[in-house]
């Protein structure tokens, strides 16, 4: 079972929260679901923080009552998905002295088997482009450094590692990553870098839209695997720190 749940929230008044608020909110939500953060080598949940227009000022972010904000939680396996499904935020979410009205919830529920069947097994026509939007700062580990760039090989490695860890259908590892890195090219992008507060430090990640081009020589079956993984990214997130708000990903043009 896979689930992607999206809540719409609006602050009752102008609200200023510390830049690291998303860490406390993630802990609160995981406590409500009885999921212990940090015990899994590969996180079985992804989380977005509050996405929407904010005004930054030194160490704080200001949320406006005239704006709506989205909060996303995803489960990548049966237990975490079943913990998210009944999660009730009621009509109001309170944390760190702030109050947000909860006005809507949308759920996308599927399974690994269903995604694989619809996007690969029935052999649909391969898509020539994969359009993605990175909603929260996204970055990749590069040794002791971080790389805030949408390199196709790093994108696919991130998604494949999560898929293979949780899915009953194994896709392949290094050879598949290498092939997709050659057969899927970065066509264009509109991204900017943003800093993201993580515990006592900061990381830099990219946000914005990216188009990946499926090269003409690409094997149609593996092109469909690439499309499957791009769709799966909406649940798994991309890159580092997805359990605390980084790497939220949306596949466009579905």
| Cα gap 233→154, rounded to integer Å | 13
* Cα angle value 49/232/168 (rounded, 5°): 120
Domain boundaries, the chain: 2-110, 125-251
Do 149 and 137 touch, CB atoms closer than 8 A? no
- Residues written for the chain: 254
* Cα angle value 64/65/69 (rounded, 5°): 75
| Cα gap 220→40, rounded to integer Å | 35
242: which DSSP letter?
G
Angstrom CA distances, 159 to 37, 126, 162, 175, 241, stand at: 20, 19, 5, 14, 14
The top-level CATH class assigned to 125-251 is alpha beta
pLDDT, averaged per 10 consecutive residues of the chain (254 residues), comes to 97 94 95 89 95 93 97 97 95 94 96 97 94 98 91 97 96 94 97 90 95 96 97 98 97 85
| 2-110 matches 125-251 in fold | yes
* Nearest residue to 84 (alpha-carbon basis) of 128, 34, 120, 129: 34
Do 16 and 60 touch, CB atoms closer than 8 A? yes
Would you state the pLDDT for residue 101?
A: 96
* Nearest residue to 137 (alpha-carbon basis) of 242, 19, 3: 242
| Cα gap 31→39, rounded to integer Å | 13
Domain 2-110 coded CATH 3.20.20.140: no
| Cα gap 20→49, rounded to integer Å | 10
156: which DSSP letter?
H
* Nearest residue to 54 (alpha-carbon basis) of 43, 65, 38, 42: 65
CA atoms within 13 A on the CB side of 59: 5
Residue 16, strand partner residues: 62
Do 229 and 169 touch, CB atoms closer than 8 A? no
Would you state the pLDDT for residue 254?
A: 61
What are the structure tokens assigned to 180, written together? Answer: 């997709």
Would you state the pLDDT for residue 5?
A: 98
Residue 254: exposure state from Cβ atoms within 10 A (0-12, 13-18, ≥19): exposed
């Amino acid at each position: 079972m896979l689930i992607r749940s999206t809540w719409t929230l609006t602050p009752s008044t102008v609200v200023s929260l510390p830049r690291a608020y998303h860490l406390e909110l993630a802990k609160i939500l995981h406590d409500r679901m009885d999921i212990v953060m940090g015990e899994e080598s590969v996180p079985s949940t992804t989380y977005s923080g509050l996405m929407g227009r904010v005004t930054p000022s030194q160490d704080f972010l200001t949320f406006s009552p005239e704006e709506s904000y989205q909060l996303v939680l995803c489960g990548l396996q049966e237990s975490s998905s079943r913990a998210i499904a009944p999660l009730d935020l009621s009509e109001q979410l309170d944390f760190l002295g702030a109050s947000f009205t909860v006005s809507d919830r949308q759920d996308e529920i599927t399974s690994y088997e269903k995604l694989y069947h619809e996007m690969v097994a029935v052999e649909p026509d391969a898509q020539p482009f994969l359009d993605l939007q990175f909603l929260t700062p996204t970055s990749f580990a590069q040794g002791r450094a971080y790389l805030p760039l949408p390199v196709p090989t790093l994108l696919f490695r991130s998604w494949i590692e999560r898929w293979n860890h949780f899915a009953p259908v194994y896709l392949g590892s290094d050879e598949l990553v290498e092939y997709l890195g050659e057969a899927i090219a970065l066509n264009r992008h509109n991204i900017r870098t943003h800093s993201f507060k993580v515990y006592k430090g900061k990381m830099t990640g990219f946000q914005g839209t990216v188009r990946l081009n499926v090269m003409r020589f690409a094997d149609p079956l593996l092109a469909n695997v690439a499309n499957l993984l791009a769709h799966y990214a909406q649940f798994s997130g991309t890159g580092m720190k997805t359990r605390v708000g980084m790497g939220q990903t949306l596949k466009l043009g579905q």
